[in-house]
Structure 1
Amino acid sequence: MQAVEIMAFGAPEGLRLGTRPRPQPGAGELLIRVSASGVNRPDVLQRKGHYAPPPGVSDLPGLEVAGVIEGGDAAALAQAGLRVGDRVCALVAGGGYAPWCVAPVAQCLPVPAGLSDIEAASLPETFFTVWSNVFDRGRLQAGEVLLVQGGSSGIGVTAIQLARARGATVIATAGSDDKCAACLELGAHHAINYREQDFSAEVLRLTDGRGADVVLDMVAGDYVAREIACLAEDGRIVIIAVQGGTRAAIDASAVLRKRLTVTGSTLRPRPVAFKAAIAQALHREVWPLLEDGRIRPVIHKTFAAAEAAQAHALMESGRHVGKIVLTWEG
């Protein structure tokens, strides 16, 4: 099969179509004939040589796919209520930039009714990540305030919609007035242009000095201290990326006084059982919201798989709102 390979670490042009053997499913796995593959920030990091796949995982980039089940572990399929020919989307630890992909059955979900494969391919990485971090680690509850850093990203548009649908007040940051408007259209109650306003001061103003209960942070670096300053008592910061740097100087006394929690996670290396629990929660709690239109995938642009380099260049430009998806013919 043809697949998008990282021919050289570095610039987007290092992504090229190469030839690989078609993968074969093992115990507890299925084989998907892929129609569409989501593009995510970790793919960019892997292309640059900064995020190697876990041991034993395909070195091809790509963490989410959608398509049709072509085969696999019959017992595992039956236990999951899936059959050959069903349309599914899946979270994978690698190998998603290919027209065939192996995935653990437990990390696969049926394509929500009414959604295309392109829309479905945009779901797993962001929805698994947001559910695990905002609702599991961050313990966001109805009536609380969520601050989403980078509200126009794939993660951001998912967090805005899910938190709003589950009864939270959402404040999003973005880097332009147009992106702030997009966040408001998706359901954010407030949007802050971080290039023109101090988000920490604005959060305190918007909450009458109380602060946010949960912060979903994709920046880290010097943002952490500013987030601590605008957290409510018993607030939680969940760090999922370090685009602003890995070092942070914080006011530890504020952490003590306000009983704050600063936590974080990565999803890719976690075991199948951990991801299976998230998949079950999503199927139960979120898939109905997708099927009745209360939340929706946000696709900024699609590219043919051969144009993966252009897709990565767009991702790195930051000009997108929502997800970027690769498509496969046939």
Structure 2
Amino acid sequence: MAVLPEMMRAIDMDAPGDASVLTVREKPVPQPGAGEVLIRVSAAGVNRPDIVQRMGLYPPPPGAPSTPGLEVAGEIVAIGEGVNDALLGQNMCALVGGGGYADYCIAKHDHCLPIPASLTMEEAAALPETLFTVWHNVFERAYARDGETMLVHGGTSGIGTMAIMLGKMFEMTVYVTCGSDEKCAKAEELGAAAAINYKTTDFVAEIDRLTDGKGVHIVLDMVAGDYVPRNMACLAEGGRHVTIAVQGGLKANISMVDIMRKRLTLTGSTLRPRTDAFKGLLADEIARNVMPLVAERAVVPIIDSRFPLEDAGKAQTYMESGAHFGKIVLLTGQ
């Protein structure tokens, strides 16, 4: 086992607020417990839940560190009781409950995915959160099937770009909404069948036109609020609406008659509070069904920008601006 330092750099804050509250602190290097591994972090993904946590609206689950960060990539340098020794020295990316914005991070061993030789550490760090989220919500909760159609809001976000790529790999037709003509062009270049500028075009009318009035089978929604009834209008009979974020509001005014008439399913999920056992099963399913595509670079996270760890606040401010296309990652220099 490698000799580890006693202290590390980690991002933390004293109180909720804007991005300026994020600071670099010296913290003890955590020690892995039973079923856990310690990853020397090379890169960590930046995600919108990190911002919501910083604002004080999304507290870490019990036992999770106060340091934000839900996905990391790096080398396993220590293991806890019950973990196979063969994992030591392996490069892995992992979905974590927190603590990713640091030089070292604890992960459950069965929440890790081996990093294919074809991927960089930066790409691997941008993989777990979006991949786990899209796979679960599109292919499990919305039980997507080959040949179906899907509308994805936020088409140039990390989630949106992953949904485009996975949908395309599984022979789905994916429509997206974006906030500019430039972003729409990038989404279509990535594989979206059509991208709709929601600032200049009514996406409900455009989906009706694109589908010849049939509607889409699935809506992957991260807006909620007043988008929900509009999304429902986009759904075909038997359509499935999956909410994964509520950027547009916590509540929606919907017609139950429309749900009955079109036999719609409205569902949603949050990933972070789910049990370790659930995440382990999800990781296993992804390893079998998606990672071979990742190894072939048929599905690879789109990296928009990279920031050093100490600039975590700048990275989050950039994400809040909405100017990014794909993922933002933090680099530790390790």
- Give me the TM-score of the superposition, normalised by structure 1: 0.97
Cα pair 1:4 1:60 within 8 Å, conserved: yes
Supply the AA of the counterpart residue of 2:120. Answer: S
Identity of aligned residues (%): 54
1:258 lines up with 2:262 in the alignment = yes
**CA deviation digits over 1:273-313, x for unaligned, max 9?**
10111111111111111111212210000000001111010
1:53 lines up with 2:57 in the alignment = no
Alignment partner, residue 27 of structure 2: 20
Runs of 5+ consecutive residues of structure 2 not aligned to the other structure: 1-7
1:301 lines up with 2:305 in the alignment = yes
Alignment partner, residue 71 of structure 1: 78
Cα pair 2:33 2:81 within 8 Å, conserved: no
**CA deviation digits over 1:168-209, x for unaligned, max 9?**
000011000011111111111111000011111111110000
Partner Cα separation in structure 1 for residue 142 and residue 260 of structure 2: 18
1:236 lines up with 2:237 in the alignment = no
Cα pair 1:77 1:105 within 8 Å, conserved: no
- Give me the TM-score of the superposition, normalised by structure 2: 0.96
Alignment partner, residue 119 of structure 1: 123
Pick from 120, 128, 132: which aligns with 2:132? 128
Supply the AA of the counterpart residue of 1:57. Answer: A
Cα pair 2:150 2:174 within 8 Å, conserved: yes
Alignment partner, residue 100 of structure 1: 104
Cα pair 1:5 1:15 within 8 Å, conserved: yes
Deviation at 1:77, TM superposition (A): 2.7
Runs of 5+ consecutive residues of structure 1 not aligned to the other structure: none
Deviation at 1:74, TM superposition (A): 5.7
Partner Cα separation in structure 1 for residue 42 and residue 84 of structure 2: 20
State the SS of the aligned residue for 1:203: helix
1:292 lines up with 2:292 in the alignment = no
1:147 lines up with 2:151 in the alignment = yes
Alignment partner, residue 197 of structure 1: 201
Count of residue pairs the alignment pairs up: 327
Deviation at 1:2, TM superposition (A): 1.2
Cα pair 1:304 1:327 within 8 Å, conserved: yes
Let me know the Cα RMSD of the aligned residues. 0.9
State the SS of the aligned residue for 1:76: coil
Alignment partner, residue 220 of structure 2: 216
Pick from 159, 181, 184: which aligns with 2:188? 184
